[in-house]
Structure 1
Amino acid sequence: MTTSTVRFAAVGLDHAHIHGQVAGLIAAGAEFVAMATDDPAAAIAVQVRERYPDVPVVDDPAALIARGDIDLIVTAAVPDRRGPIAVAALRSGKDVIADKPGCVSFSQLEEIEKAVAESGRFWSVTFSERFEVRSAIKAGELVRAGKIGTVIQTIGLGPHRIGDRGHLGGGAGRPDWFYDKARYGGILVDIASHQIDQFLFYTGSRTAEVVASSVGNFANPDKPGLQDFGDLLIRSENAQGYIRVDWYTPDGLPTWGDGRLMILGTEGYIELRKYVDIAGRPGGDHVFLVNHEGTQYVDCSDVQLTYYADLVNDVRDRTSTAAPQEHTFETMRLALTAQQQAVVRGAAQ
């Protein structure tokens, strides 16, 4: 392992997930050297500049990507821009960390795969609902320890709130691109990629197929570009999965969404209440384990999050410890497939 400092730049500051990405990389020892974005007036871009006033702002994103003194590009641009930014960065000899979804079309995914192959650099998509959640890491440890036998199914629920303050970045509402399917990719690409990532990971599946999928708009008929509901069935050689995502989180819930994951094994099951235990224990990261030994509440407070540290080491050492490249490709392929094949219902376009 080398000890040289990894230098990174942020290109695309449109989604609040950039805050976690930048903070994670800095905590892992990387140096934040510059930033650029298509829309400097975006609420999130303003926040990033305020949080890191000493980091230079470059007017031209393409010029920043081309610089030779940068190892890594991180992006949380508008989703349809993440693919082109990644391809440009890869072809400039840089590794890439993209917010999910990493791309919004099969053509973008094909270009990214080609650029990865030709450059020898990696493209990682930040599936934060696993990488940045202690309970999700703990569940993986329990599965690998054989606590519930062989995993045969996952049920992943990903509810969200349109008006969540943290995601608005101080803005008055969601930006226009949030309601434009061509820009955010559709709800199964945008959100369900999280749950597809988790299905593949917990079931140990290298590949899978989409059995059925649907999307709809049932609560926002004045915004037909918004898909406010989506679900899908997924199947691999050894496991099955059901995924449901939506934008219906009520204002009464004290967080942006009651994200849940249920992992069924041949000898027990695990349930995660990632962000809230409604009318129960305070805080997040609640894990419940049921097997032949009984029922157990699992404390996750000492679980280490390693995604960003692993990424920094992968840049230095040319390894693939944070997330296997083929896993990331397969996750986005399945999300795009589910979106493309989805039955469209309600007011959704």
Structure 2
Amino acid sequence: MSKKTAYTQVPGANPPMKSIINRRQILKKGVAVAAFAGGRSAALTAAQTPTAVQFPDRIRVGIIGLEGHYSEILEATKLVPQVQISAIAEKSEDLLRRVPRTALLKRAKVYGDYRELLDREKLDVVAVCGENGMRAAIIQACAARKVPIVAEKPLALTLGELDQVRSAITAAKVPLTMLLPMRFDPRYRRMRAVVGSGEIGEVVMLAAQKSYKLGSRPEWMKNKASYGGTIPYIGIHMVDLMLFVGGRDFKSVAGFQSRVGFPEMRDMENNAVVVFQLDNHGSASLRLDYLRPQSAPSHGDDRLRIAGTEGIIEHQEVTGLMSTTSKQGPQPVTDLPPTKLLFVDFLESLYGKTKHALSLNEIFRVNEIVLKAREAAETGRVIAL
């Protein structure tokens, strides 16, 4: 595997996304949050809209697979109207029914095979979504055509596939990002800044949770060959967030996973626990489940807690962002940075030559970690990272 890269502490560095404000709310509420946080004007700030970057008149985007977080691309059109969805590759008739009902998709040319789309369309960016099992092969095909890629996660379902993707991206020198929008959420960016400032001292323990309602799931998620596991599929969000916010790397991992009840879900685990040793001998834990009751007020319940030698900062949907230090008791943290979208940040890096907030080293490192975490849960062994 590649050189192990720690996520360094850079206070106020570019972003996370999701929590109290979900993806559909973020653009609507982002202005209000920014105004509240620092008493600023409700007008969009430079950090919220890419006015400093001169985009071409049209940015042609192809979407391969209509599952996952492709809404990140659609939401970006509100800030970068030059983005046009030129083509879509999707085999599912059910999913294709969305196309004529979605204003941003209905003018796109539809293909049944992603290879035909790549052969016929001249694209500026391609979004690789869809089911997990095909992603590694599709990314390699896109890299061969030297088209910048925004990919769903995980990039691959095995370490061998991940090495192939890494080699293809490196050889083609093609820009790549991955849909990890939580690190662009103002709350997690603020947590990162607090940790980086030294306010809570040296990071000793991290704890994260992602709990989802099960709802109705597609067939590919019920098959290990096409799903790959709950740890790499949803755990990757929180692993990235712990690395990004906590500023420490992971050295080893152990875990458990299973499906209890819900026999119709077959191979899809509905619970998993993963524990990590930090590079300073501290520890981290991650809880994942698809057990959130349908009566709950939101689809997901994400939590992140960072404990250091001088204090704790944590976020829960119920309590918001709270800080407790050796110098003062529990306090709400309200001075949040402005909102930004992952895909907008990626486009700025392509056309404005800015540095994208999610590096290739971080992308490949977090994929490696979650695949080894799944291996640890499958084998009952402690795996070195």
Change (3 A) 1:118 1:318: farther
Letter in 1 for 2:314: E
> Aligned equivalents of 2:341 and 2:85: distance in 1?
22
Q: What residue number does 2:323 align with?
A: 289
Check the 8 A contact 1:210/1:232 in 2, yes or no: no
Where does the alignment leave 5 or more consecutive residues of structure 1 unmatched?
Answer: 164-172, 281-285
1:218 partnered with 2:270: no
1:151 to 203, 209, 213: 203
1:303 partnered with 2:338: yes
Q: What residue number does 1:108 align with?
A: 161
Check the 8 A contact 1:34/1:56 in 2, yes or no: yes
1:237 to 264, 279, 290: 279
The SS at the match of 1:13 is coil
Check the 8 A contact 1:231/1:242 in 2, yes or no: yes
Q: What residue number does 2:117 align with?
A: 64
Change (3 A) 1:49 1:108: farther
Moved more, 26-35 or 259-268: 26-35
Change (3 A) 1:25 1:264: farther
- CA displacement at 1:220 relative to structure 2: 1.7
1:208 partnered with 2:250: yes
- CA displacement at 1:328 relative to structure 2: 0.7
> Aligned equivalents of 2:164 and 2:78: distance in 1?
29
Q: What residue number does 2:151 align with?
A: 98
Report the TM-score, using the length of structure 1 for normalisation: 0.84
Check the 8 A contact 1:86/1:123 in 2, yes or no: no
The SS at the match of 2:206 is strand
Q: What residue number does 2:305 align with?
A: 262
> Aligned equivalents of 2:219 and 2:244: distance in 1?
33
Where does the alignment leave 5 or more consecutive residues of structure 2 unmatched?
Answer: 1-51, 381-385
- CA displacement at 1:319 relative to structure 2: 5.1
> Aligned equivalents of 1:30 and 1:298: distance in 2?
36
- CA displacement at 1:311 relative to structure 2: 0.4
Moved more, 64-73 or 4-13: 64-73
1:14 partnered with 2:67: yes
- CA displacement at 1:25 relative to structure 2: 5.4
Report the TM-score, using the length of structure 2 for normalisation: 0.77
Number of residue pairs matched by the alignment = 323
> Aligned equivalents of 1:210 and 1:200: distance in 2?
14
1:189 partnered with 2:232: yes
Higher relative contact order (CA 8 A, sep 6+): 2
> Aligned equivalents of 1:182 and 1:298: distance in 2?
43
The SS at the match of 2:332 is strand
> Aligned equivalents of 2:118 and 2:163: distance in 1?
20
Q: What residue number does 1:249 align with?
A: 292
Identity percentage of aligned residues: 21
Change (3 A) 1:53 1:200: closer
- CA displacement at 1:254 relative to structure 2: 0.6
Check the 8 A contact 1:66/1:89 in 2, yes or no: no
RMSD over aligned Cα, in angstroms? 2.4
Measured against aligned partners, the alpha-carbon deviations of 1:200-223 in whole angstroms (never above 9, x if no partner) come to: 112223x53332111111122343
Check the 8 A contact 1:37/1:77 in 2, yes or no: no
1:180 partnered with 2:223: yes
> Aligned equivalents of 2:78 and 2:337: distance in 1?
21
Measured against aligned partners, the alpha-carbon deviations of 1:286-305 in whole angstroms (never above 9, x if no partner) come to: 20111123321123676322
Check the 8 A contact 2:157/2:371 in 1, yes or no: yes
> Aligned equivalents of 1:210 and 1:242: distance in 2?
12
Measured against aligned partners, the alpha-carbon deviations of 1:51-82 in whole angstroms (never above 9, x if no partner) come to: 22543223142232245732211122111122
